[in-house]
Structure 1
């Protein structure tokens, strides 16, 4: 009981100094200020409840070693927490343990593992998770590691041989390891040095009893509460020689120590020091004798090694005498032979260099420039490498360099003359290049000396040749065409005007022959390009084989002989009148710009030469563009007589030429769509469409301004145009038969149209636009915008002249009659009938993304319909005006019919006669129905105003007779015979 009470008092006193404390398992660390908080944390976080038992997990690997794995009850768990986990961390050192209490460890478990795992009360998942649940997730069951395939199997014989080889070294290693372990073995003071557990005062090297302080600390009892100097050691442990409580009780502070106790302490210290010194001496002696034995063994091994070395040296001496000396002699003989061979080679080079100039002269006489260049380069290389410093050849290098430059200039002159002769004459049939052999030889020489300026010569000669071909063909066809040349320059230096005077057939033949000559010339340039490419490849292959990367005489000023030619400058030699405009389509990426770049290397020459034919084709297109511009550049006031069919024929011819060139692969750098010829054709077509539109717009305006608004006689050509259009469904011009005679009206689907002459001319203009749609489908959108503009212009101008009374001032009409209005309406109806034909032709030519432009035709038809309705309203308003005036002047009398109704009938008859023969009967009937409805309304209002009703029988009878006369006159008209005329009662009462 005394022990329990002492434990409780000690526990309560230590818990006060324990808190606040942290949980050792939770991260981040949680701090608790009292025992209750910590116990609650353990119960909630570090414990699990299974059934009625609590299992504690507050420990390493989440396993508490103080509690059974099966858990305990609630009260036992609370006691366990209070006694085990809520105590201070150093409970084993601070608390007073009950000696009767045994420590509970992992070996204290007495459960049978097989019985626990086979317990029928446990589920399968509980059994499977048994080890990981109690021993943590890091538990890994033992497994058999398979044998590695990377380690080869070792047999017993191999292991025995290895053991014999390493046993001696291994034994020596173990002996050294034992000595090292004995030297590193800790002393009696638990690992410290020999003097660390002895009092510091006695181990002080200045210890002397004559010192007052040392004497006092040695023999005088220290005060209570202070440390005794005889008990303080270096390792921190207190030396306990006698119980201090008893010694301090007998000897008070300041008195001398007890002699017996002090003597016993010093004797114990002496024994300790003596025993340790003896141990050290024994260890040192063992080490000494071990060193002696080791020295003897090393001496014996050294003697054996020296004997082996003497034997090896004697053997090496024998080998040197028998083998090495003979090999050295052979090497010396070989070196002498090599030196003599080099000397012989140099003498041979000297003999060759003496004949170098003679050989070069002989090759020059044979015009074999590649071999000349090769001979000079080889001589220079030998002179610089093998024979450098030879006095007899000190001037040969400068002579070779001078000769090298002269040969380069000679080759350039020869190439210029050859290329001029090649391009200046037409080769025989089936032959592309006349001087291909000479050109190949000169080209290889020029490429070897890196005189790449010949490409500028080729470029210039191509341009001059194309210019000459064009001038020759054009002059030839001008002379053959039979033109009167007295009006032109007899030298034909200015070809613009004669080209414009050519008939279209002669012009088309000229274009055809020019394109054929240009195509043949481009094929010749293609052959020249192949020759240049082949020569460059041969030079490059020879350089790669011989290891020469270039000529040793090349300087920067010799890379380019002539400055690049400005291709954008206008040609002053040939001027087609004022048609010297710049060629369209010039871009920085065209072949001309690429070929104008200065050439400085062989790869650059290969790249540039590969587009030589395309450059020739580009220049040919430029010349064709100049020819086309000269042809279609018309003077002011001169009409363009070219028809759309003729323009289409010319464009087709040029497109075939472009396609042939594209098939030859001459459009790699510059696509066909952006080539100068394509851009020029597009520009010419747009200009032609604009001229075409301007001429027809002027023609239409002139016809309308001079129109007298009388019925025109219809010519046979117009009737044939309408008949053919209705038969084929496409509006187009047709030649009129010579025997046909025109009529007074144009028949459309068995319906006569009496129209003015302007409408017929405008119909023919629309047929011209339809033909233009067929001829130039690529420009259908541009043509559509202009034909819509023309339709709107015709409609608005008719409206101004008729409804706006503009014709009164222009042609001197006295008034705008009903007949004029009827002719205008019928003319507009004729145009409306054929607008769908034009829209259909445009739809066939437009692309899918341009079909939305057809809405302009619908808008034009709407405008025409509105205009026709305005004319009809104008006609109705004219007769309404007369009837209203007559009704206002009407006096009801016994004279029947009255003069007012007679005047109304005469005006209506006159109105009918003005419309008859122009407007069809059904339209006249519809018009008179409208007039009759307006008359009924006016009559009803007038009768109501003057107070006439059926109740006034006398006046009502007079009115009925006048109205009967009006109805009889109305039915007497040919177009209104079946017109429904109501009775007077129906008019008055609105039935």
Structure 2
């Protein structure tokens, strides 16, 4: 076994030697080159190994540490990013509980902002996270739920506010919650909340009117159990005037409470949308710092709760702001109009049996005054006049004015037909009336002052001027004031009342003319004649009416709308007719005396004794006429009348002198004429106010 191995080793050795020899013989040809090459290769190998050692040393000492730092930094950044992602995921995981918490505190805007932000994060930062694959749709459903919740809670909130007891004086209920709800709906661009509020306000107004009627009917003692079976309208028609007026006043009062609540909502929401549009300063319990570079904003004048600063960032467009503000204003006006419509239904329901037509003047005026007060209060709330309630009374007002006028026209005609045209005593109530008008400038009838010690006066004193009058004109004066007072109570009836008053004044003027100048009183009341005193009294009565006409005209002019002021020309025409009538009476007085003078001078004979009988008769009639006029007409008017009579006398006496051939020649006849004229002049010197009125002798004999 060992030999075999040795034999094999020998064979292998020999073979190896043979191969080496062959190789050596092959390499022997280039031995010189091989040695050179081997030497170079060895040198390069040593240099490469040295370079690699140096690079390895540099890599270990200078590169590996920095690279490790960079790797660790990137690893840390990845860990931080992962941590942030995890925190974000944890935060997003808490979104729904947070939203529920915000909703429980009425933070609707923040809840909606959180949903919006979370949706944005899910779509960008956490896109593809499998665990949140359903959260986006859940948040979308939650947003829809919040939208529904906002509208439902808003309806409940405003219903609670509007349906509070009338006695609750709080301006607005749950203001903080209402403001939060409105901000939330603005955040969702749900601007229909104004329409929702309007419908709820309409419902509350209807409920208020119905409840007030029910309470009034249930409290009425005049209604028995059988009548209570009827409908509510039928029961209301059983109320008497006082009960019904109390009901109407209560309805007006309760409606004003509701309308003031609507007005408060209007103001609060105006501030809210102003804040949302960046036009109103955000109210805060702490004073806000002033910044000179910021625009000055309006103060929130109606909000009584603080608002989150986040609301200031929730801007709405100018168009949306204008639209919502316009809707708010229209809603306020619509609420007032609806309140008027409900009141109209109450009035119409009560008038079905002719109730309003049977009202007395004072009762209807009281009704009109209450309606006018309510309408004015509503106008101050909404800034616009509502017409439905006024129009509902307009037809009835026309009937009332017609009846009002018929009563006074009939009364005036009756007292005129029984007037004897004698000076009447003036009761104190009429003197108080003119004194009140002079003192206050208001054409209203003052409250009567009971005073048994005061006695009637002989004349009525108006602005330091005495008027001797008959009783009829005192009644007319009172009626004129009643018309003025009525137009204050029923402004809508001003044109009709002016027409009726003009008619009344025309009646007095024409009937006075018929009875005095036309002598109609002779047949009606049995006067023997129409004396100068009767004429003077008629003139003075007309003058008293004319004295008050400018005041009455101004009173109506202030209450007529522009298009109806042309009706004042009829009033001006009546005033002219009165002035013409006064002049006619003055002419009549002069004519009467001219007739006396003419008839006496026809019989005049220039012969002794002097003064002649004719002149004695003329002067007697002059003195008698003066006595009749001087205590009735002012002295300037008396003097004017007698001046005209004297001018006519001069004409008559000159014509008579020509006829009798008497000239200024100093003869006996001339002396007798001068004696009569001196007697005539002396008579004037004894008459009060006519002392300087006498004949001018030169004028009488001019041309003779």
By the TM > 0.5 criterion, same fold? yes
Q: Which among 197, 201, 214 is matched to residue 458 of structure 1? A: 197
Contact 1:488 1:498 in 2 (8 A): no
More helix by share: 2
| Separation (CA, whole Å) in 2 of partners of 1:364 and 1:960 | 121
User: How far is the alpha carbon of 1:938 from its aligned partner?
Assistant: 0.8
Residue in 1 aligned with 2:594?
880
Aligned to 2:659: 945
Aligned residue among 528, 532, 541 for 1:827? 541
Q: Aligned runs of 1:98-497 on 2, under 5 Å? A: 326-336=65-75, 338-339=77-78, 380-381=119-120, 383-386=122-125, 388=127, 398=137, 401-402=140-141, 404-406=143-145, 408-426=147-165, 451=190, 453-469=192-208, 472=211, 490-492=231-233
Deviation at residue 825 of structure 1 after TM alignment: 1.5
> Conserved in 1, the CA contact under 8 Å of 2:263 and 2:332?
yes
Query: How has the CA–CA distance of structure 1 residues 790 and 525 changed in structure 2, closer, same or farther, with 3 Å as cutoff?
Result: closer
What do the CA deviations read for 1:573-619 (whole angstroms, capped 9, x no partner)? xxxxxxxxxxxxxxxxxxxxxxxxxxxx8625788788998777655
Query: Map of 1:662-741 to 2, 5 A cutoff?
Result: 675-676=383-384, 707-708=416-417, 710-711=421-422, 713-721=424-432, 724-725=435-436, 728=439, 733-734=445-446, 735=448, 737=450, 739=452
Deviation string for 1:711-743 (max 9, x for gaps)? 363452455326845995867644154645646
Secondary structure at the counterpart of residue 603 of structure 1? coil
- CA distance 1:533–1:490, change in 2 (3 Å): farther
Q: Is the 8 A contact 1:416 1:457 kept in 2?
A: yes
The answer on 1:641 being equivalent to 2:352 is: no
Distance 2:240 2:326 in 1: 32
- Structure 1 position 818, deviation (Å): 3.8
- Change over 3 Å in CA distance of 1:483–1:810 after alignment to 2: farther
Structure 1 residues 519 and 399: alpha-carbon distance in aligned structure 2, compared to 1, 3 A threshold = closer
Alignment-derived partner of residue 519 in structure 1? 260
Shift of 1:876: 0.7
Q: CA offset at residue 941 of structure 1?
A: 0.7
What is the rounded CA distance, in whole Å, between the counterparts of 1:877 and 1:835 in structure 2?
29
**Aligned counterpart in structure 2 of residue 756 of structure 1, from 470, 473, 478:** 470
Partner of 1:19: none
CA deviations 1:483-535 (Å, max 9, x no partner) are 88979985259999989966878866765554355435654776788899999
Q: Deviations over 1:791-821 (max 9, x none)?
A: 9995896379539988678997799764443
Aligned residues: 586
**Residue by residue, what CA displacement relative to the aligned partner does 1:862-904 show, whole Å, maximum 9, x if unpaired?**
9976754443222112322344355457788999999988986
Structure 2 SS opposite 1:420: helix
Comparing both chains, which one has the higher relative contact order based on Cα–Cα distances under 8 Å and sequence gaps of 6 or more? Answer: 2
Equivalent pair of 1:795/1:828 in contact (CA under 8 Å)? no
Counterpart check, 1:802 vs 2:513: yes
Name the CA distance, whole Å, in 1 between partners of 2:689 and 2:118.
119
Q: CA deviation at 1:428?
A: 9.4
Residue-by-residue CA offset, 1:152-187 (whole Å, 9 max, x unaligned): xxxxxxxxxxxxxxxxxxxxxxxxxxxxxxxxxxxx
Residues 416 and 737 (structure 1 numbering): CA distance in 2 closer, same or farther, change over 3 Å?
A: closer
Flag the 1:825–1:893 CA change in 2: closer, same or farther, 3 A. Answer: same
Question: Distance in 1 between the 2:374 and 2:621 partners?
Answer: 66
Partner of 1:603 in structure 2? 316
Structure 1 residues 488 and 859: CA distance shift in structure 2, 3 A: farther
Map of 2:51 onto structure 1: none
Q: Within 2, Cα distance between the matches of 1:378 and 1:471?
A: 49
- Kept in 1: contact 2:109–2:180 (CA 8 A): yes
Residues 393 and 482 of structure 1, relative CA distance in 2, 3 Å threshold: same
Task: Tell me, yes or no, if the aligned pair for 2:212 and 2:247 is still in contact at 8 Å.
Answer: no
SS at match of 1:676: coil
Asked if the contact 2:425–2:458 (Cα under 8 Å) also holds between the matched residues in 1, the reply is yes
Secondary structure in 1 matching 2:232: coil
For 1:904-915, what aligned pairs fall within 5 Å after superposition?
Answer: 915=629
Once the two structures are superposed, the pairs formed by residues 922-961 of structure 1 within 5 Å of their partners are: 927-928=641-642, 930-948=644-662, 956=669
Change (3 A) 1:927 1:883: same
User: Structure 1's 807 and 747: CA in aligned 2 closer, same or farther, altered over 3 A?
Assistant: same
- In the TM superposition, residue 760 of structure 1 has moved relative to its aligned partner by 1.6
Q: Which runs of 5+ in 2 are unaligned?
A: 1-53, 283-313, 560-569
**What is the CA-CA distance between 1:347 and the residue it aligns to?**
7.6
- Structure 1: tracts of 5 or more residues without a match: 1-314, 542-600, 662-669, 846-855
Point out the more displaced range, 721-730 or 628-637: 628-637
Partner of 1:874: helix, strand, or coil? helix
